[in-house]
Structure 1
Amino acid sequence: MSNPRTRPISPHLQIYRPQLTSVLSIMHRLTGLLLSGASVVLSLWLVSLALGEPTYTRFSGLWDSWAATALMAAVVFCVYFHLLNGVRHLAWDLGFGFDLATVYASGWTVVVGALALCALTVAMLF
């Protein structure tokens, strides 16, 4: 058996320079997590709708601030980012886009597309 003290120590994640691919991977996971939380809030809103007008009015009153509007815009961005990055992953599952130039081009397309669609949606809704 080898001595565990002589084994190489793996470097910590903080010493690595962030790359587009790693940042997009982390963002995909975080947006999925945020969308899970948003689906719970949406479910609560639907329950408040079913419980009658007073409950619905109280619940809807929570969303009249600028902070709530910013949060809703962030959720809209998460929806578009997660959707577009999911399509990118589906293309990878089919075997397309594995060369480095295409990986970076599709990554920037996801970021710019999500920002553009979010801006368009927010401009139309708010």
Structure 2
Amino acid sequence: MTSTATRARPQERPLSPHLTVYRWPATMLMSILHRITGGALYFGTLLVAWWLIAAATSQSYFDFVNFIYGSWIGRLVMFGYTWALLHHLLGGLRHLIWDTGTGMEKETSTRLAWATLIGSVTLTILIWVAAYAARGAF
């Protein structure tokens, strides 16, 4: 009979780093954002459908929905929807490029990932500036 003191202790296993310690590669971050923006597009599409239904219903209901969308919170949501749409679009183009077998090198895929983020932010701002300019808001 052996005592517990003489038994061999199991060797401590190393712990894997937590997400806050691990540095996310750009491609991983863009992949996660691509999935999040895809989910956000469901919500945004419901908002577009609500606006179209209001346009088909009555002038007073359409004015009500336009009032909500024209508020600062409504514009913020629509700005986010625009960014999500463009980010998801550019992420889809990035995946289309990868489907052809090109751009799979680490450096190239990282550049494409950053281009997706920078391009989506830039295009969102340009679209909103153009829309405000077309309305004569500047």
1:23 and 2:23 aligned: no
- Between 1:79-88 and 1:12-21, the stretch displaced more is 12-21
Q: In 1, distance between residues paired with 2:90 and 2:54?
A: 31
Q: Which moved more, 1:93-102 or 1:62-71?
A: 62-71
2:79 aligned residue = 73
TM-aligned CA distance change 1:10 to 1:43, over 3 Å: farther
Unaligned runs of 5+ in 1: 1-7
Match of 1:52 in 2: 58
- CA radius of gyration, larger in: 2
Deviates more, 1:79-88 or 1:66-75: 66-75
User: Structure 2 counterpart of 1:66, which letter?
Assistant: W
Question: How big is the shift at 1:106?
Answer: 0.8
The structure with the greater share of residues assigned to helix is 1
Measured on the aligned residues, the alpha-carbon RMSD in Å equals 2.0
Kindly report structure 1 stretches of 4+ aligned residues shifted beyond 2 Å: 8-17
**TM, length-normalised to structure 2:** 0.78
Aligned-partner SS, 1:86: helix
1:65 to 1:24, Cα distance in 2 relative to 1, 3 A = same
Q: Percent identity?
A: 29
1:12-64 deviation line (CA, Å, top 9, x unaligned): 65553222111101100111111111001111111111111121111111112
TM-score after normalising by structure 1: 0.85
